[in-house]
Amino acid sequence: MRLRKLDDCRFELPKTGGMRVPGRIFASEAMISKIERERVAEQVANVAHLPGIVGASLAMPDCHWGYGAPVGGVAAMDAKDGVVSPGMVGYDISCGVRLLRSNVTARRVGKAKEALLDELHRTVASGVGKGGGLRVAKPEMRGVFARGARWAVERGFGEPGDLETIEDAGAVDGADPDAVGERAIERGCSQIGTLGSGNHFLELQEVDAIYDAATAAAFGLFEGQFVALIHTGSRGCGYQICTDSLKTMGAAGKRYGISLPDRQLACAPIASAEGRAYLGAMNAGSNFARANRQVITHLLREAAQQALGASGVELGMGVVYDVSHNIAKFERHSVRGVERTLCVHRKGATRAFPAGHPDVPERYRSVGQPVFVPGSMGTFSFVLAGTQTAMLETFGTVCHGAGRMMSRTQAARRIRGDALAEELAARGISVRTDSRRGLAEEAPFAYKDVSEVVEVCVRAGLAAKVARMRPLGVLKG
């Protein structure tokens, strides 16, 4: 695919053949050759064939090859004439990141860090297919699907104030529990409050740099602070919803006369029975993910109180924000100066709304929505804030992490898990995991330089830097 350089961080893929819109990739000069070799531009072009797509088919700087569409891809569809595509949402529906702040410093945590990690390793299940101590009866799953984090808070897993700073106040509208298949329900019953495997984690961190003092203060962050970052999603429940929907969508596309260059982008009109069913099931899976992160938050608070010998009030572990990627949401955006309702697909990309936007929690509305860009276990993580430029160019979207640059198999061939754990320990980063191979697969060198990814977003005006965190310890799947 022939990319045209627009500036130092924007590359355009001209509209050709069946593309309905051009493609646009946000990347540095150093990144773009790797992106081209991975054929990400080809996937960006394929997404541009989707009926009803508006603006451009987009890819964030953490983009890499994915199922049908690139991870880091963004596509906005007209709400009336467009389609919804499970491949453009992803398997791990509503995977997301939650940041917890505290009243205490990382120095105060000190040697208690090891005890805290041990307790988290005991109480927060991690790994492929792992279930946790919380078992939810099948009938109760309807409440999880409908109410998300609100369901968890109502059952004592957290505080009502948590919901004020969670995307959609803890539950996305439009969930249809009846659209979720039996197998997805079964898989979800034992997986609320669990991390899963792959790049999911619970990381203990220290705020080591503040770039914007006023915005950091609004987010409740200060230098030297002890914070925790949670990254997980809808586990086997969301995976099964996607799997079931892809089977339905494949047949539906033929019925509606939709022709695409890649069957992995199987889709159906938003207004169709198949489209409505997928959206209802996807939103249910999204609420499952929110409930999952809420229960983990509760388990983390309990573990921290026990390990540090402090009360909940003394620790003050509040939710800074919780934001999802791998989701399609109905939003109002300006397209060529005209306000339109769009179904914005964000696959491995996260919402980044600016100051003044009504969907930003009231306490942050003067500075913009918090955005989290996690590092790769041994590297920094960043807190950003959304901007108006993102609203105009990317439908209010920015990257969701560093982005893989090496397969899991390649990473595991380069280093053993125990050797990686020793390297991290030598740098003051403690690790807990049940899978040494899984640890090796997530080695920091398997990912892009998160600092460079963030700088591209900042130079492009898609986000503003607020703070940086360094890892102290991590619980990995």
**Catalytic amino acids?**
400
Rg over alpha carbons for the chain, rounded to the nearest Å, is 21
- Per-residue exposure over 258-278, b if at least 16 CB sit within 10 Å of its own CB, e if not: bebbbebbbbbbbebebbbbb
- ∠ CA 168-208-441, rounded to 5°: 70
Query: Which residues 6+ apart lie within 8 Å of 237 measured at CB?
Result: 180, 184, 185, 187, 188, 191, 285, 288
CA 138 – CA 146 distance, rounded (Å)? 13
Q: Where are the beta strands (DSSP E) in 113-233?
A: 201-210, 226-232
* Three-state secondary-structure class, residue 10: strand
CA 340 – CA 425 distance, rounded (Å)? 51
207 closest CA partner among 368, 380, 428: 380
Using an 8 Å Cβ cutoff, are 214 and 367 in contact?
Answer: yes
CA 436 – CA 477 distance, rounded (Å)? 10
Q: Where are the alpha helices (DSSP H) in 169-210?
A: 182-188
* Three-state secondary-structure class, residue 51: coil
Q: Alpha carbon 99 to chain centroid distance?
A: 12
Tokens for 236?
A: 């086997």
Using an 8 Å Cβ cutoff, are 287 and 175 in contact?
Answer: yes
CA 88 – CA 352 distance, rounded (Å)? 18
Q: Alpha carbon 442 to chain centroid distance?
A: 16
Tokens for 23?
A: 């493609």
